[in-house]
Structure 1
């Protein structure tokens, strides 16, 4: 190889190294920006509550030891001059040893004891009476399992989350109209406004509250699916802003990182269940969903087994 050729080769290698260096620095800056944005969003989301460890646990959940745990997911409608109601109530149990996550939907009209008030009422009224702590205590008492963490979603702001991930796709079981929109049967792509109207329809559904819960789970799964896609990486700022503004949880950033690291396999295997075999009854003119004792016992047993209790 002559001197001129060697010189050209060195020059080419130099530009390759410079290009890779620029690419590496740019990637590092981009990842650091994502980390900072995520950290900022989770700081806004973090909302610790004044509630001791559950009496149904002997010690705190340890994510590094892959302990099974539970999360109460609440979709809350909060209006001006109103404490609000927990419009959606889902108990999520996660077992990394079984590599599975169970989602149990609780009908909002379920008749149960409101812990802290000593009264029987609709379970979704617990939020209006005592916020997150009373709701967690009431659900814990109903299901006879520890409720370790909570995740509260502002349903009005849920539109922003759906729009931030670019909309969601759902498989709609039957045609209906809701909130000024028409939803034909089949695969649908929904923006934020449409997703909220789709998830809120209740009275036209032949399955009533159960059908509504199923549509809400479809929207949530759609958000998770779209949020995890590569396309969302370029829109991370809007996604994190939407999450930070509309979600509250007592999970810390470190705990979220631990869950992502230690429970990833469980998060990919969802099983959806609901409290069924109950009946709608009117008591003093008010509608309640009454769950038979044997049905409640079966649900409690399944959840305890999944939490290794």
Structure 2
């Protein structure tokens, strides 16, 4: 028997060589057990990170894509729900069957009516009347105010069986939106494509949901104990309604009121399209729901048509929304004592020509507002 010293066993006593496969850290039961070193372990750390960065990048990209898809889906669902929820009335236009699809490159004329319809009050009238023309190139929206006291010829209707001279806002009282649109078409010779109505409660809710809108107020005024100082002011809810309805405490009466209405509508459009609303899914959904609950449109403004118009918009900023006043030449009084605004016939003919020919930019340049 040899007395030479024995080499220590590489496997500890009572240890199973297969135990190294059970080691959670992958080092085996004994660090003295020889094992094969992988290429990744011998690779410098920088090179190892370089090999892993594509996986990290792709994982981050996948997460970002999923987030974007989720947000877009939420927005699409919110918009679809709102568009489907808008009340559509086939009687808003004089003849809905005569409304033709808008050709690409042609302007679109919307009649916007703010009515004084509210609980406890009958015989509603159009407190605000605006023709909003979206230019053929979709780069500008022109808001053309027609003063509620403009003395015009209103076509025969159920209340007045023959054509009658009256203030333009009487058309809504006598025949609703359809008669108002017909009156506008008769005095301008311009085909109106769509009609949109919002009443007082809807206006209050919309400005509240937007968190108020900021406009520049050129002259201070007071109505029902509410003071509106000169300068930049933020209005919402009932204050906003009072602001756009006041005329007696304004230097130019109805002209200044119409200017206020255009300014507030412009501010509402700008804020509805702002990053604060569009970038906030919850706020975006709430605003869309308020629009759906408080507006009525003609049946031609289907969800598909609204999407088509919206995706064609190329409005770049607030300067893309241009405010215009339909011209008057003075003031008069009817035989029954009504004070009214006299239409500037020559001026209206020029405005009408610009609306028909999609040349409102030239009109505005020649008639600074």
| Structure 2 equivalent of residue 21 of structure 1 | 62
Relative to structure 1, the CA distance from residue 273 to residue 306 in structure 2 (aligned partners, 3 Å threshold; closer, same or farther) is: farther
Out of 266-275 and 31-40, give the one that drifted further: 266-275
Q: How does 1:142-161 map to 2 (within 5 A)?
A: 142-161=187-206
Q: CA RMSD in A?
A: 2.7
**Is 1:70 equivalent to 2:109 in the alignment?**
yes
| Structure 2 equivalent of residue 208 of structure 1 | 253
State the 1:97 CA deviation.
4.2
Q: Which has the higher contact order (CA 8 A, sep 6+)?
A: 1
Unaligned runs of 5+ in 1: none
The counterpart of 1:253, out of the listed 299, 303, 312, is 303
Out of 252-261 and 222-231, give the one that drifted further: 252-261
| Structure 1 equivalent of residue 5 of structure 2 | none
| Structure 2 equivalent of residue 276 of structure 1 | 328
State the 1:80 CA deviation.
3.0
**Is 1:41 equivalent to 2:82 in the alignment?**
yes
**Is 1:31 equivalent to 2:72 in the alignment?**
yes
SS at 1:109 equivalent? coil
Using the alignment, how far apart are the partners of 1:159 and 1:208 within structure 2? 22
Whether contact under 8 Å (2:204, 2:238) holds in the other structure is yes
Out of 227-236 and 295-304, give the one that drifted further: 295-304
Using the alignment, how far apart are the partners of 2:291 and 2:137 within structure 1? 29
| Structure 2 equivalent of residue 167 of structure 1 | 212
Using the alignment, how far apart are the partners of 2:331 and 2:357 within structure 1? 26
Using the alignment, how far apart are the partners of 1:105 and 1:266 within structure 2? 22
Relative to structure 1, the CA distance from residue 183 to residue 139 in structure 2 (aligned partners, 3 Å threshold; closer, same or farther) is: same
**Is 1:243 equivalent to 2:291 in the alignment?**
yes
Using the alignment, how far apart are the partners of 2:349 and 2:330 within structure 1? 13
Out of 286-295 and 259-268, give the one that drifted further: 259-268
| Structure 2 equivalent of residue 3 of structure 1 | 40
State the 1:190 CA deviation.
2.1
Whether contact under 8 Å (2:118, 2:201) holds in the other structure is no
Using the alignment, how far apart are the partners of 2:316 and 2:333 within structure 1? 38
The structure number with the bigger radius of gyration is 2
| Structure 2 equivalent of residue 122 of structure 1 | 167
SS at 2:88 equivalent? coil
| Structure 2 equivalent of residue 90 of structure 1 | 130
**Is 1:264 equivalent to 2:303 in the alignment?**
no
Whether contact under 8 Å (2:333, 2:340) holds in the other structure is yes
**Is 1:104 equivalent to 2:170 in the alignment?**
no
State the 1:71 CA deviation.
0.9
**Is 1:225 equivalent to 2:234 in the alignment?**
no
| Structure 1 equivalent of residue 345 of structure 2 | 293
Using the alignment, how far apart are the partners of 1:220 and 1:10 within structure 2? 56
Relative to structure 1, the CA distance from residue 47 to residue 162 in structure 2 (aligned partners, 3 Å threshold; closer, same or farther) is: same
TM-score by length of 2: 0.74
Using the alignment, how far apart are the partners of 1:274 and 1:298 within structure 2? 10
Relative to structure 1, the CA distance from residue 28 to residue 113 in structure 2 (aligned partners, 3 Å threshold; closer, same or farther) is: same
Whether contact under 8 Å (1:85, 1:124) holds in the other structure is yes
Using the alignment, how far apart are the partners of 1:8 and 1:266 within structure 2? 44
SS at 1:73 equivalent? strand
Relative to structure 1, the CA distance from residue 197 to residue 295 in structure 2 (aligned partners, 3 Å threshold; closer, same or farther) is: same
The counterpart of 2:100, out of the listed 60, 64, 76, is 60
TM-score by length of 1: 0.87
Using the alignment, how far apart are the partners of 1:265 and 1:225 within structure 2? 10
Unaligned runs of 5+ in 2: 1-37, 361-369
Using the alignment, how far apart are the partners of 1:136 and 1:293 within structure 2? 19
